[in-house]
Structure 1
């Protein structure tokens, strides 16, 4: 996630700057063809292009709104996971049955918190698995997919120290780690284990029935939150919306230099050359809008537009460890440059 108030010129160029080269080339090619041939068919009247541009702008704007909804919903769900995690840690620590001979089982309570932290990092890892429709295509068979893999690797490299410090081994016993290896959905299995441990606390009269229901309610909420995140991850933005938006922008860019020439030729022969910079800027604006929406569709790619899951997980980890009185508390994740992972 980019956290600065405004993007630097370098960041803007890295994201959309390369589009200026082919846009300038296309505008220049059509302008040169008209200038040296004088073919009037290359000069469009002023009405068609604004109509196409208005229609494309409405469509791209609609797509961008829907893309942002996916991004914002993902962030809200992670906020709910944060709240549920804090509730779980507080209740696990403080709930006691009140039975005269009930044991405290402090080690079991501590392990529940540890297992939950392992669950958070496991969930993050599962959400970052690349899907076929995402920009980090698992096949890497196309140019953009390969470039985005490089971007993801570069971003992970900047947070290498923080990522290397994450290890479920310090939170899960070896036996549990081995049992996870054969599981398809490891995060779900960890929640199921938590539910079993809470049930055993009730069977041992460490907690009473009402407390057990509340603790199991937290586990159920986490199942629900995880399912909603998986829905966003596993359900691509409708491909027709995405594909036609890209196609419409391409059509508009194709006709743009012809419309620019038709307008600027009224300024004389010298005015025709103004169609190149003006058309390039207009085309770049439409391409940038399309790319912003396109990269907002998938909030779990490991790229700059993602939800900062690593920082969120670390924040939850710190809160839960402090609640149970642990001394070895990790440091919060700090932004690198303009990005928080």
Structure 2
């Protein structure tokens, strides 16, 4: 997630500047062809071109709106994770049966639930970051390679923080190996939390009503995990996404043929102004398309994604402090204006 208030020209160039490498030569070639040949038949009247541009703008706007909905829903899911984790922790810590007696065994079970839950959050994050075939980091060719490099650079900046996850003190190596046998380890971790809550009931540390409340809290994570997996595993409808790209390409292809005719009316020397104008207009449409395209998939580890690592660390800190532990990790800090 980008945390700067305003993007610099350097940031904009990093995001979409590579498209200037074909926009400028295309506008230049059409302008030069018209200037040196005066072939008026290659020009396009501005009215039909403006109609195409308006239609494309509406279509791209619709796509961007729907893409933002996916991104914002993903953020709401992790916001709910934060709230529900705090609720679960305070209930696990404080809810006790009428005749319950606090002993070392019971305290260890309560602590194990919280530790297990922290592991669950990090595991869910890791599962959501696994690339699927329609994401940018899974593409072949130059664009896929470029986005893979982007992701690698971001992960390298947070190398130390990511290493800390693999040395979590909350789970043993044997438990890790056991989890690796399952297709969905995060779900199994939630199931283990249910088993631990059942142990509290068996030891009469909580009553049936309290067990129901605790299980309802666990169930809320199944719901939020399912919503996140739906976004991850169900792509933005490819026809909406693909045709938006195609329409932008058609408009940018036709754009210089319309602009050059308009500037030719102002005189031969003014024809060359169609190059910067065409590049600016084309770049605006390309960037609008890219914004929607990169907002479709909020769980692929790029700079526009949900900062799941930071959210997990925030929850971890809150839960450990609730349990009275002293060895508290530090919050994740932005690096190069990106929060992972």
Could you say which TM-score interval applies, normalised by the shorter chain? over 0.9
Cα shift at 1:41: 1.0
Flag the 1:168–1:114 CA change in 2: closer, same or farther, 3 A: farther
- Structure 2 matches for 1:11-90, cutoff 5 A? 11-90=11-90
Q: Say whether the 8 Å CA contact 1:118–1:168 is kept in structure 2.
A: no
1:322 paired residue number: 321
Hey, what's the Cα distance between the residues in 2 that align with 1:133 and 1:100?
53
Q: 2:116 matched to 1:115?
A: yes
1:296 paired residue number: 295
Q: Say whether the 8 Å CA contact 1:264–1:274 is kept in structure 2.
A: yes
Cα shift at 1:21: 2.1
Cα shift at 1:178: 2.2
Superposed CA offset, 1:14-65 (max 9, x none): 0111211211100000011111111111121121110000000000000000
Q: Indicate the SS of the match to 1:236.
A: coil
Cα shift at 1:210: 1.2
1:278 paired residue number: 277
1:4 paired residue number: 4
Q: Say whether the 8 Å CA contact 2:101–2:205 is kept in structure 1.
A: no
Q: Indicate the SS of the match to 1:33.
A: helix
> After TM superposition, where is structure 1 displaced by more than 4 Å over at least 4 residues in a row?
100-104
Cα shift at 1:203: 1.5
1:225 paired residue number: 224
Q: Which runs of 5+ in 1 are unaligned?
A: none
Hey, what's the Cα distance between the residues in 1 that align with 2:164 and 2:152?
17
The two structures have a TM-score, normalised by structure 2, of: 0.98
Hey, what's the Cα distance between the residues in 1 that align with 2:168 and 2:266?
72
Q: Say whether the 8 Å CA contact 2:100–2:205 is kept in structure 1.
A: no
Give the aligned CA root-mean-square deviation in angstroms: 1.1
Hey, what's the Cα distance between the residues in 2 that align with 1:230 and 1:46?
46
Hey, what's the Cα distance between the residues in 1 that align with 2:100 and 2:4?
56
2:131 paired residue number: 130
Q: Which runs of 5+ in 2 are unaligned?
A: none
Cα shift at 1:181: 1.6
Hey, what's the Cα distance between the residues in 2 that align with 1:328 and 1:101?
27
Superposed CA offset, 1:257-290 (max 9, x none): 0000111111010111110000000000000000
Hey, what's the Cα distance between the residues in 1 that align with 2:222 and 2:167?
20
Cα shift at 1:169: 4.4
The two structures have a TM-score, normalised by structure 1, of: 0.97
Cα shift at 1:333: 0.3
